[in-house]
Structure 1
Amino acid sequence: MVSQMVLVRRGGRPRLAALAAAAVLVLAPALAACSDDGDDAGGTTTSTTAPPGTTAPPPGAAPDDPVAAKAEVTRNWTAFFDPKTPTAEKVRLLENGEQMQPVLAAFAGNENAAMTAAKVTGVEFTSATDANVTYDLLVGGSPALPGAQGTSILQDGTWKVSMKSLCGLVELSGVTVPGC
């Protein structure tokens, strides 16, 4: 899947532009209210792509019940990106969700975010507490970011959307958000 991202960057500039435009359309209005105009002294760069060379996890690197874990990852990602899911529930489904609550609250009242959903198409465990997630970000039911890559993390007994994944989407919008 990493090679797919490389092809998009090298030979598919129109597609990359369309994806970036879709991400800006979906995310920028919701995040503008949360942007930080101050210095970013501790800024980090995140990505929604799988690390290079990612292969099948070594034996014993999956959760005790991978079928149940995969179902929970899928269910939680779908709920997190469902505009009908209350913000309080989204906070519970996001890694360190409390610190990202202002961003999630901004999404709650945004009409573009109300048309956005995610469809999980694959889950690959890289350890007993981490998984790579392949998903389509849908806007109005149509794929805006097909085959997107994110991660899920087991935190406090719940499989959650990682902050890295959310921040990677925010990064595509070109908006700076505290916590990302």
Structure 2
Amino acid sequence: MTSATARMASAVVAAAALALTGACDSGGDGGTPETTRPPASDSSGSTPASGSPSVSVSPTPTGTAPEDPEEAEQEIRQAWRAFFDPESSLEERSAVVESGEQNALMIDNLFLDPLGSRLRADVTSVSYTTSEDATVTYTLTRDGRRLDTGGPGAAVVQDDTWKIALDTVCSLTRHAEDAPEAPSCE
């Protein structure tokens, strides 16, 4: 074998190794999930005849949802209803906000404010980022007119209860005339 042929053979082997490495990549480099899926199986559970052995893949728990997502969503929606209900007391509102008791003055100012008192929210969706954190998409209105919320809200588990995230309440103060953020918002 000549040295040119040996180099060509080495290049072919290296290219094949790179191709195989790319096929086994976990997708951490931004690859799409389609490039990292195992081959589809037929109705018998075996992979198509490709010369490759069949590999059993177990799903990996992600930890991105609470144990009972439907119950958690109901609790989150109830917290948002209580917070924006014009009939709710300060104690009821504080109870549904993360660290609400410590931030009761801000919550009270928000709903005593002439503009803040007319805020209403309708939760449109809930998705979980962890088992104790959720992104809450909602429509914020005042007097029936939609306001720009500046982004989705959040809910967190505190004392085994889903509550509106303090950061979300802090961001709502911008929709009031005179409801400054609490020092804990920073």
Per the normalisation by structure 1, the TM-score is 0.61
Query: Structure 2: where are the runs of 5+ without partners?
Result: 1-60
Whether the aligned pair in 2 keeps the contact of 1:130 and 1:154 (CA below 8 Å) is: yes
Q: Which residue of 1 aligns with 2:148?
A: 145
Q: Residue type matched to 2:163 in 1? A: K
Equivalent residue runs for 1:1-180 within 5 Å: 59-145=62-148, 148-170=151-173, 175-180=180-185
Whether the aligned pair in 2 keeps the contact of 1:135 and 1:147 (CA below 8 Å) is: no
Cα displacement (A) at 1:157: 1.6
Higher relative contact order (Cα pairs below 8 Å, separated by 6+ residues): 1
Cα separation, 2, equivalents of 1:81 and 1:145: 16
Cα separation, 2, equivalents of 1:88 and 1:100: 11
* Percent of pairs with identical residues: 34
Whether the aligned pair in 2 keeps the contact of 1:76 and 1:160 (CA below 8 Å) is: yes
Alignment deviations for residues 101-123 of structure 1 (CA, whole Å, 9 cap, x no partner): 11122234333223211100110
Query: Structure 1: where are the runs of 5+ without partners?
Result: 1-57
Q: Residue type matched to 2:184 in 1? A: G
Whether the aligned pair in 2 keeps the contact of 1:77 and 1:120 (CA below 8 Å) is: yes
* Runs of 4+, deviation exceeding 6 Å: none
Whether the aligned pair in 1 keeps the contact of 2:83 and 2:93 (CA below 8 Å) is: yes
Q: Per the alignment, do residues 103 and 132 of structure 1 end up closer, same or farther by CA in structure 2, a change over 3 Å counting?
A: same
Whether the aligned pair in 2 keeps the contact of 1:137 and 1:148 (CA below 8 Å) is: no
Cα separation, 1, equivalents of 2:113 and 2:174: 18
Q: Per the alignment, do residues 173 and 86 of structure 1 end up closer, same or farther by CA in structure 2, a change over 3 Å counting?
A: closer
**What SS does structure 2 have at the residue aligned with 1:126?**
strand
Q: Residue type matched to 1:61 in 2? A: T
Q: How many residues align?
A: 123
- The two structures, once aligned, show a CA RMSD in angstroms of 2.3
Q: Residue type matched to 2:115 in 1? A: N
Q: Per the alignment, do residues 153 and 176 of structure 1 end up closer, same or farther by CA in structure 2, a change over 3 Å counting?
A: closer
Cα separation, 2, equivalents of 1:63 and 1:148: 23
Q: Residue type matched to 2:171 in 1? A: G
Per the normalisation by structure 2, the TM-score is 0.59
Cα separation, 1, equivalents of 2:109 and 2:172: 15
Cα separation, 1, equivalents of 2:106 and 2:96: 14
Cα displacement (A) at 1:153: 0.1
**What SS does structure 1 have at the residue aligned with 2:62?**
coil
**What SS does structure 2 have at the residue aligned with 1:159?**
strand
